[in-house]
Chain A
Amino acid sequence: EAGVVQSPRYKIIEKKQPVAFWCNPISGHNTLYWYRQNLGQGPELLIRYENEEAVDDSQLPKDRFSAERLKGVDSTLKIQPAELGDSAVYLCASSDRVGNTEAFFGQGTRLTVV
């Protein structure tokens, strides 16, 4: 069974430019998470989807970040415009249900803003 797939693996952009990350979760997983992981830190939740509905987005900086999950499958996370402080690894994870259950992670996208 294929795992969570993210692309691209690496991205280098200049500040003020837009950037987008894509995630394909495990088939059948209704719950999808986007996390940001700063260097030397644990993952911090940005947004959680149940099917196509964003149900936890309190940590998403909505002035510059947006996300969508069309048809409740693939998801895209966008930053526009990017700032130097956005440099981090962006992780996507999915699970088959919400709550006390294991999350399956993709390899992440390492973003460097210069």
Chain B
Amino acid sequence: GNSVTQMEGPVTLSEEAFLTINCTYTATGYPSLFWYVQYPGEGLQLLLKATKADDKGSNKGFEATYRKETTSFHLEKGSVQVSDSAVYFCALGSYIPTFGRGTSLIVHP
């Protein structure tokens, strides 16, 4: 069946540091891939998505590229801010949307 594997957290960075959160997946067919973010006390919200191989999703300075050859969808940001502190979930879309376990990001001033 489908599955998503994310790097374990927490990831702790200083403000303006470069961020990478790794995500790999196993799926049948060609699912869309998503990154969701969950801020403290809030529900999950879509951060970015990519619908086919080599697509790049981007939003709020975050980027992720759909790599079919490596079955990956790593999240990157060039310069993180304290306000980016949250839990990030990689997910693949299908009839049964599947989520990774989440990676907590903590950004210090």
Contact = CB atoms under 8 A, between A and B. Distances in A.
Interface of A: 4, 33, 40-45, 48, 56, 91, 93, 98-108
Interface centre among B31, B51, B97 (most CB of A within 10 A): B97
Contact of B43 (A98, A101, A106): A106
B64 to A, nearest CB: 14
- Which applies to chain B's interface (DSSP): helix, strand, loop or mixed? loop
B69 interface: no
Interface in B91-109: 91, 93-102
Given A33-B97, A45-B96, A56-B96, A102 B34 contact: yes
Contacts of A44: 99
A93 B32 CA distance: 17
Contacts of A99: 93-95
Given A41-B102, A45-B96, A56-B95, A105 B34 contact: no
B10 to A, nearest CB: 11
B38 to A, nearest CB: 9
Nearest to B46: A102
18 contacts: A33-B97, A40-B101, A41-B101, A42-B4, A42-B89, A42-B102, A45-B96, A45-B98, A48-B96, A93-B44, A99-B94, A100-B31, A101-B93, A103-B46, A103-B97, A104-B46, A105-B36, A107-B42
Given A100-B93, A102-B49, A42 B43 contact: no
